[in-house]
Amino acid sequence: MKATLIFNLPEESHEFDNATQGSKMRSVLWDFDQWLRSKVKYEDLTDEQYQVYQGCRDHLRTLLYEENLDIEG
């Protein structure tokens, strides 16, 4: 199967960038998720710090789930 996306440039350059830079955005989200994970798993945190980092990671994953986005692989 093949798909073709057509954009009217330069008017739709923002939409074009969104379509062509998705893998970069996914990579950034993955890196951020892993950074949060390492903070929670490996850092010596206070209970409050732990709750903040874990809360951020949970919220990020909730947003991704709600949009049916997979950054795992």
State in Å, rounded, how far the first CA of the chain is from the last one. 21
Instruction: Give the domain extent around 42.
Output: 24-66
How much is the pLDDT for 58? 98
Residue 2 has what pLDDT?
A: 97
Residue 45 lies in a domain: yes
Considering the domain boundaries, does residue 3 fall inside one? no
Q: Does any domain span residue 30?
A: yes
Residue 5: inside a domain, yes or no? Answer: no
Q: For residue 50, what pLDDT is reported?
A: 98
CB 32 within 8 A of CB 60: yes
Q: Per-residue confidence at 73, pLDDT binned at 50, 70, 90?
A: confident
Is 19 within the bounds of a domain? Answer: no
Q: What percent of the chain has pLDDT over 90?
A: 97
- The count of structural domains within the chain is 1
51 found inside a domain: yes
> Could you read off the pLDDT of 5-15 as tens digits, one per residue?
999 999 999 99
Q: What is the pTM of this model?
A: 0.85
- What distances in angstroms separate CA 70 from CA 8, 28, 47, 62, one per listed residue? 29, 13, 29, 11
